[in-house]
Each structure stands twice: as structure tokens, then as C-alpha cells.
Amino acid sequence: MMIAKLSLPRRTFLRGVGASVALPLLDAMVPATTALAKTAAAPRTRMGFIYVPNGQALVNWIPEKTGADFDFKPILKPLEPFKSHVTVVSGLSNLEAESRGLTTGPHTRCGSVWLNGVRPKRTEGADVQAGKTVDQFAADVLGKDSTLRSLEIALESNFNVGNCDNGYSCAYVNTFSWRTPTVPLPMEQNPRVVFERLFGDGETVEARRRQMRRDKSLLDAVSAEIAGLQKSLGPSDKRLISEYLDAVREVETRIQRAEQRSDATPATLTAPVGIPEVHADFAELMYDLMLLAYQADITRVVSFQMAREQSSQSYPWIGVPEADHDMSHHGTDPEKTMKRTKINTYHMTNLAKFVGKMAKTPDGDGSLLDHSMIMYGSGIGDGNVHSCHNLPVVVVGNGSGQLKGNRHMQYAMDTPVMNLGVTLLAKAGVNIERVGDSTGVLAGL
């Protein structure tokens, strides 16, 4: 029996003047026979690394119970609806960030060591040196056949230069992603720039600028190709394409609205043009860009910095007008601990919204959440004392069947956090014997 079916390559793009739109995985990209379909639809694991600064209020993070069906403390509570995809890991430490006689620079050391396990060189100059990070080891393999090798984004600016933390260059806190031991990767804060990087296709800088100034959507540039493709697709693919393109257009519209609201006069400019005025909207927009990048398989590795170490961001809309860093030094005061918990929970709530969207986004024989591993945490444990021990770490997603979820895994205190890094890499098919101070994989994970 002959099976007639449109066959598209997995790496299919719609191209127009100044635009390139990657498509999500469609039935038309899978061979018609069932046996071949299962092979072709084999998921590609996505990895994400999300950093929050200044530690967490650990008393409201670490579950009392280990193993399955653990208790979700207040900070982790927003993730409870997705517990089958949640793995909390305790006992991990950043030993290369210890003071070792130094009385200054704990934030720099803890933040820069988080994803590489390498003690940073203490310098205020351009001769920075740390270690290649887990995300970049992942990008070496997972990014070989994706449009973008990796994507690095942030919610706070990384414009600071010079000395940021008692003898340490600002380069160490502007990012936690290092391509090589001497090349830190900048994190993009402007959602418009991120969008253009994902979907813009101008051959020159000026071409991209012209595209950014256009009032109509990027999708208008590929409307003819969209119409032609839709005619040849089956009902389920038509629906998936329509939903995906609606999401792309909706994100673009939000960016355009944010740009229109921004006051770009030098006297009042406080943030790059295009950033939403409401922090929660900003976070959701950047998460949505991350979601689109995963869905269209533009990149499989994303690093996202919620804020820089020693962040002075305040959160008056949740009842915390004080600076984040100040509240991390709560001195066990109940009121300050409560405010610190509110900040930590706010960030977790934003993550949970993203996780919920991933769970609803089809990807092959499952969802994006099924096929992803998102490591979320901080390089500091107890921010009150700048502790680099017992770090708050949670991994969300099933990693294409490699992670079970619904577990609190407690390891021996001061197990290197890079043991988790090496373990996650192995589960994604990236076999690295050692990263930084790692001593092996985490048993049972």
C-alpha cells in the first residue's frame, strides 16, 4: 500500500524579506509509516539554566521529606501542580567559592562558580578567567544543528564595567555563562533584540534596523509562504502552525507596545527601549521568547539570569519596597525572612507560568516539558551569611524520559554542584568526564 504524504525536513523555515521563521515539529516532518514515525519523532532534549541571586530563604525552600511525594515548602509551592516533572536536589555546594582567607567578593565567587566549578581569577581588568560552563558544554553538542548554538538572556542590564565586587571585574556578575575560561558571554536584556535574533533575517546591521522600524509584523513578510504551506498540511498541522504563529505575533505585538510606551529621551531613559514597564510582564515576555526558541527548535540551550548578584531590585508590588540584596541579609529577623521569601516565591511563580506553558506545548510524542531539563537555582545557599553550601537547586522537566520527577534527592553535604551539571549533561547525551570540581555523577538521579 502506498502512503502519500507531504514530507518536510525538520529544519524547515519560512523566509521573506528581512524575516526567517522556524517551524515547530509537525506531523509532515515525520515519515508516514508508524515505525519510522516513532524514530523520526524522537525528541531533542532542551536544556535551560536559570539563575536567581543572593541565595534563598532556605527554611522555606528545603523539603522536610526526601524521596517521592515530598512536601512543597512556600517558595517551591508554585511548582506543585507540575510535581511529576519536579526534582529538588539538596546537599550540593559551591566549594570553589569559599573565602579561603578572603573577606571580600563572596557574591562574585558564588555566582561565577555556579555553573563551572572553577574559582574565578581575582582581577579588575580585562584578564578575567573562570571556567567553561555547563550550558556551553551542552551547546557544543545540542547546538550543532540548531540555528542558534545557545541563547543568553537577562532581566537586569549588564552594562557595568570595571570593579563590581571588591577587586573582581564586573564581567563575573554580568553573566554566569562562559564559552571558554576567558570568554564570558553577554546576556541580552532587550526583548526586541532577542526577538530579532530568533526571527530576524537581515544580512546587515542596517537591514535589521530597517526591519525593527517597520510597523507591520515580521510574519507579514512570510505571509505568502504561510498560505502556500497551509494548503498542503493536514488538519492537525494546520492547527499547530496557526497556534504557533499566533504566539509569535502576540510576542512581537507586546514588544512593539512596550517600545511605544518607552520614553527614549536622554533625561528620562532608565532602561533600553522595548522593555515592559511592569516587571512581571517583562519576565513573562522573556520566558515566552525562551518558549518560542525551544518550540521552533531555534536553540536547545538557554541561560537566563533573573538578576545580578547583589541586585538592588526592589519589589514593592508584592510588599517588598526594600532591595533584594538587603533582604537577603535578614539576620533571621522574621519580618525580613518573610519579605525574602516573598521575593523568592515571586521569581518561582514566574518560572511556574513558563513551566505551565511548556506543559501545554506539543513536541513530538509529548510536550516541551517532557523533553526539557531546566536547572533553577542560586550560587549562594543562605544569603544571610554568604554561604556557598547546601545550595537551593530544582530541576524541572523529564529530560526526554531521563528524569523521573516528583522527588526530593538529598545528597551528602558538600557534594559538588558540578556533579549535577555532569549528570544532566549525560542525560542529554553530552558525555563530559569532568566539569570544574566535579567528582562524578549523582547516583539515583
Same domain, residue pair 317 and 443: yes
- Do the domain assignments include residue 287? no
| Residue 2 is assigned to a structural domain of this protein | no
Q: What is the CATH number of the domain that holds 387?
A: 3.40.720
What one-character-per-residue DSSP string does 221-250 give? GGHHHHHHHHHTS-HHHHHHHHHHHHHHHH
Specify whether the CB–CB gap between 358 and 317 falls below 8 A: no
Please give the pLDDT value at position 227.
Answer: 73
Residues 85 and 397: beta-carbon distance below 8 Å? yes
pLDDT of 369: 98
Instruction: Mark whether 27 and 52 lie in a shared domain.
Output: no
Between CA 373 and CA 367 the distance in angstroms is 12
pLDDT at 267 over 50: no
Q: Say whether both 299 and 406 belong to one domain.
A: yes
In a domain, 284, yes or no: no
> Which residue range is the domain that position 348 belongs to?
46-189+295-445
Q: Are residues 233 and 346 in the same domain?
A: no
Asked if pLDDT for residue 254 goes beyond 80, the answer is: no
The H or E element containing residue 90 is strand 86-93
Task: Examine the domain organization and report whether 180 and 200 are in the same domain.
Answer: no
Hey, is 68 helix, strand or coil? strand
pLDDT of residue 217: 67
- If one counts the domains in the chain, the total is 2
- The length of the chain, given as a count of residues: 445
Reported as a pLDDT band with limits 50, 70 and 90, residue 271 is very low
259 and 373 belong to one structural domain: no
CA 251, 44, 302, 398: dihedral to nearest 10 degrees? 100
Asked whether residue 279 is domain-assigned, the answer is no
Specify whether 181 is located in the same domain as 316.
yes
**348 and 422 inside one domain:** yes
For residue 36, the model assigns a pLDDT of 41
Q: Are 301 and 145 in contact (CB under 8 A)?
A: no
- Of the pLDDT bands very low, low, confident and very high (cuts 50, 70, 90), residue 153 is very high
Domain end, chosen from 221, 244, 274, is at: 274
DSSP annotation of 73: -
279-295 and 235-261 are packed helices; what angle lies between their axes, rounded to 10 degrees?
150
Does residue 430 sit in the same domain as residue 336? yes
- Are 352 and 430 within one domain? yes
Distance CA 390, CA 325 (A): 19
> How, if at all, do strands 178-180 and 183-184 pair?
antiparallel
